[in-house]
Structure 1
């Protein structure tokens, strides 16, 4: 079983002014795909809080995967990629490239995503879109391949080549 942490970045969600549908979608799909959700939290769009939560989930909870949702756009309050960059030790740029490429087939606005991804220790961290619909579409597209990346990261698999 794979372990997962979910972080929703939303001022309104944190204040209780909006339901966090994206985080719920992520949890639902991940559970169906063999992930145990170890932590799910809604935080305001504050870089230090987001950064500290990613460090906590990675270093203390030792989750295999952290999926963030929200905070990747052009608003001055959108700081999830910056928080992620402060946490990761190695970039995994192919993941957000794949997400944007796939999402561009659905909406050209995907080009406005500033999402990133990377590795901290043995934890993969991926910034997801903020909309529930986009989260569902993207997870359906990438989640099985992320499992393979996690297996390699944990040392459970050594090959990326398909047989």
Structure 2
């Protein structure tokens, strides 16, 4: 399954390409409707203000399928960022982290640590989550791959962070660090909607806001 932000658009220089992978035996078999990819697509549309397009895949909980999908999205489709949802618990069918680590060239443990800190605000079973983030490098291209939770509410909280009733940040979401990470691995510059998620960059890496 392929979706894009604009099906007729020609790929632009500096356009961010995002791969979305929902890992679910039942959703991929049509037993129920997948909620992960729609939730991710909607959040990205609200949070990113610079050009981007999406490559989406709905696949079963099979390690070979997950690995081959990640390789296709990074090596062939040239995605700069790949987000997976599902398959990160301790059950025997939960193999997304293993597949992600298998295609990586470098581990990025801080993302997984922060995801669990956010989830622990809600449930003690957050310590059972095995979500990881990695970088895959091939030739001159590199991508950040991150495992996210399976539920739409948890996806939003993980990416965006937690705010109090006045809008003050209680726990930072992981996406605030993603644009600068993409900068560092040679990807396109990502502008964000500060009302949803304000990207953090050191002053030396910031570009003037577009008017």
**TM norm structure 1:** 0.92
Aligned residues: 161
- Among 76, 90, 98, the alignment partner of 2:106 is 90
Which residue of 2 is the match for residue 127 of structure 1?
147
- Among 19, 23, 34, the alignment partner of 1:9 is 23
Alignment partners' CA distance in 1, 2:122 and 2:62: 30
Greater length-normalized contact order (CA 8 Å, ≥ 6 residues apart): 1
Structure 1, gaps ≥5 residues long: none
Alignment partners' CA distance in 2, 1:3 and 1:155: 9
Alignment partners' CA distance in 1, 2:188 and 2:133: 21
**Does structure 1 residue 162 correspond to structure 2 residue 193?**
no
For residues 50 and 106 of structure 1, do their structure 2 counterparts lie closer, same or farther at Cα, with a shift above 3 Å needed?
same
Q: Displacement, 1:128? A: 0.4
More helix by share: 1
**TM norm structure 2:** 0.72
Which residue of 1 is the match for residue 177 of structure 2?
145
Alignment partners' CA distance in 1, 2:98 and 2:174: 22
Which residue of 2 is the match for residue 25 of structure 1?
39
Alignment partners' CA distance in 2, 1:37 and 1:53: 17
2:16·2:188 contact (CA, 8 Å) conserved in 1? no
Q: Displacement, 1:111? A: 0.7
Q: CA RMSD in A?
A: 1.8
**Does structure 1 residue 60 correspond to structure 2 residue 60?**
no
Alignment partners' CA distance in 2, 1:44 and 1:23: 14
Q: Match of 1:68, SS?
A: strand
Q: Match of 2:185, SS?
A: helix
Structure 2, gaps ≥5 residues long: 1-14, 161-172, 190-199, 204-211
- Higher CA-based Rg: 2
